[in-house]
Structure 1
Amino acid sequence: MTSFAHDYPFDPAYGHTLDRLRTIPAPPAPDDFADFWLERYAAARAVATDPELGPLEEERDGVRIHRVSYTSVGGVRLGGWLALPADTDPGEPARHGFVIGHGYGGRAEPGPDVPLPLPASAAILPCVRGMGERGRVAGIPDQADGHVLHGIASRDTYVIGDCVADLWCAASALQELVPELAGTGRLGYLGESFGGGLGALALPWDERFAAVQLTVPTFGNHPLRLTLPCVGSGESVRGHHGEHPEVTEVLRYFDAATAAAFLERPALVAAALFDPAVPPPGQFAVHNALAGERELLVVPAGHFLYEGMEQDIAELGKARREFFGKWLER
């Protein structure tokens, strides 16, 4: 069991050992779970994303980084960044592609998501609706505690479903802007925290992706999460559930662990033993439910600064490079 000195009014390890965490299951899926998501996926694939490439913002770590915008479901126009390989010969196609999700709060710049896991790669770094300056949408809260409750009264209006669609549409925009990636089987997904949970929900239904890497993914095992205090978006959902217990039925369709049981592509999950924002039992539930080949990297803590964290981040980077090298270089 991992323990750190902290001043939280609860135990961010929740009393779990690694052995116990590795046994936590996913909640059973509603009978129409797959149909619900496949219908949403089909709607997203039908969107004309009309991506627009903006000016060059910076060049570093082997890529040229441009602004990008694209259309998602509901006609919502979103922004983000596109990274294109800078160290290949002119006219040489990108060999790999990535869609990179972000944490709750959005992203203000590409930041540590660049450098990319593999050389000669292209990537889209979208800002999903409501999150960050380039993802702002009128009427959708831009703070995590409000965003995670937006539209939660119905599975058809819950914002998390549209955020998943934003990732599917980002993949479409990437393949339109970098057409050599279409049909190659060399598209990967990376997501951390909020982006990890969205990735687990998105990837089972999208055959364009060959592999996925999720770091401290959220939205895993909602029935258990509703019993665990935290300082992340889950606490807002817990509070809402206390007044509206009927929301449990909606959350069944947005459980990242339930979705992971449908995810047959190779996946690498980095899950934490101690995490005050995303309870570790939910993270491990996502990994434990994966239907395809899976790898687990256990990290001491998530959403928490600790001694030795830089080394652990470097080890995760190495594991990520090896993982995607194995599955995207085939």
Structure 2
Amino acid sequence: MTQTPREEMTEYSLSALLTPPESPAEPEDFDAFWRGTFQEFGAGAVAWELTREHPETATHRVMEIRFRSSADEHATAFVMRPHAVTDARRGLVVGHGYGGRTGPDVERVPAHTAAIFPVAPGTHVGTASRFPAPPDEHVLAGIAHRDTYSHRFSAADIWRAATILLEIVPAVAGSLDFSGGSFGGGIGALALAWDTRFRRAVLDVPSFGNHDVRLSRRCTGSGEAVRRHLRDHPEVRPVLDYFDAAIAARRLRIPVHVSAAVLDPAVDPRGQFAVYHALPGPKRLGVRACGHLDGPLGELSDRLALQDGMDFLALPDERVI
């Protein structure tokens, strides 16, 4: 496989990646900050309304809804609910990559699962937001302070999406899972540590793991915009420690499946594996040949990781550990 220099920069041996790195230092008030954020945005009811019915599938009704974001603006989500609500056995909140989303990923949702696909603030085309949609701009929005950073609201909207899904399909309480990749995987790690409603999680090529590593080399992803921004604004570096997926992962106690790549030009593999190594609870690792690559190899790797994660969420409880 022909690789560009940037791709070669972010390929590592599996043996090196399987060696746990030195844990990143964390702010003393990391827990207090996130618990306060959850109390502010994740507890209580969430206002929402149905805006559009999408074509149904053989097993699900598909809805587009508008809800009140933690950013105090309109946000969009897509909901898939079994035709018979009584058929719902599991719930699923699905995060997305920095490409955003324009609809639900139907293939992710088994027949007996109710799912919600929230769109992160600023990333839905046609929904007004103070956050810009382009990844290189969104990743810098509000970065001057931890309270205003875009990632804080993206994580908080995962909680709000869970609240909406449990209102629509109450039967899935106790069987609520999360799945997210890249941007969505990193945001998921930040959100899951503080919300006890989740049962399991799948994090695919998760971003934002160990910022010291993430900032040490150039990449083709949003991390490059952050690395360049810090050259002129080094004073914002401490803010990123509150949004480090590897630090947040230390708090996770639910079973987690991580798919991590040995080659990835957009998200440094060392950061992906750092999220896995930080998990103290039950965990599984799926090793991908590559992540964030176009072409047949990248597409195959994506499909295999997707199926791997779906299989993990479908396992009986006694087989998870």
Q: What residue is the counterpart of 2:209 in the other structure?
A: 220
Contact kept? 2:69, 2:121, Cα under 8 Å: no
The one of 215, 237, 241 equivalent to 1:248 is: 237
Q: Larger deviation: 225-234 or 307-316? A: 307-316
Give the C-alpha shift of residue 12 in structure 1.
4.2
Contact kept? 1:62, 1:115, Cα under 8 Å: no
Q: What residue is the counterpart of 1:114 in the other structure?
A: 106
Contact kept? 2:74, 2:128, Cα under 8 Å: no
The one of 141, 150, 158 equivalent to 2:141 is: 150
Counterpart CA distance in 1 for 2:317 and 2:161 is: 19
Q: What residue is the counterpart of 2:31 in the other structure?
A: 34
Aligned-pair identity in percent equals 41
Give the C-alpha shift of residue 292 in structure 1.
1.0
Q: Larger deviation: 302-311 or 196-205? A: 302-311
Q: What residue is the counterpart of 2:124 in the other structure?
A: 132
Write the letter of the residue equivalent to 2:225: S
Aligned residue runs from structure 1 range 14-163, under 5 A: 14=11, 16-23=12-19, 24-60=21-57, 62-86=59-83, 90=84, 92-110=86-104, 113-133=105-125, 136-137=128-129, 139-163=130-154
Q: 1:82 to 1:234 in 2, by over 3 A?
A: same
Stretches of structure 2 lacking an aligned partner (at least 5 in a row): none
Write the letter of the residue equivalent to 2:152: G
Contact kept? 2:255, 2:282, Cα under 8 Å: yes
Give the C-alpha shift of residue 312 in structure 1.
3.6
Counterpart CA distance in 2 for 1:161 and 1:248 is: 16
Q: 1:195 to 1:325 in 2, by over 3 A?
A: same
Contact kept? 1:131, 1:142, Cα under 8 Å: yes
Contact kept? 1:54, 1:67, Cα under 8 Å: yes
Counterpart CA distance in 1 for 2:117 and 2:78 is: 5
Give the C-alpha shift of residue 63 in structure 1.
2.1
Q: 1:219 to 1:268 in 2, by over 3 A?
A: same
Stretches of structure 1 lacking an aligned partner (at least 5 in a row): none
Q: 1:303 to 1:327 in 2, by over 3 A?
A: same
Give the C-alpha shift of residue 51 in structure 1.
2.1
Counterpart CA distance in 2 for 1:151 and 1:307 is: 37
Write the letter of the residue equivalent to 2:113: S
Q: 1:9 to 1:277 in 2, by over 3 A?
A: closer
Give the C-alpha shift of residue 43 in structure 1.
1.1
Residue 269 in structure 1 maps to residue 252 in structure 2: no
The one of 162, 165, 169 equivalent to 1:171 is: 162
Residue 209 in structure 1 maps to residue 193 in structure 2: no
Q: 1:135 to 1:172 in 2, by over 3 A?
A: farther
> Deviations 1:30-60 (Å, cap 9, x if unpaired)?
1111111111011113353122234421223
Contact kept? 1:127, 1:134, Cα under 8 Å: no
Write the letter of the residue equivalent to 2:256: A
> Deviations 1:227-258 (Å, cap 9, x if unpaired)?
11101100000001111112221111100011
> Deviations 1:157-199 (Å, cap 9, x if unpaired)?
11111110011111111111112223xx200000010000000
Q: 1:216 to 1:73 in 2, by over 3 A?
A: same
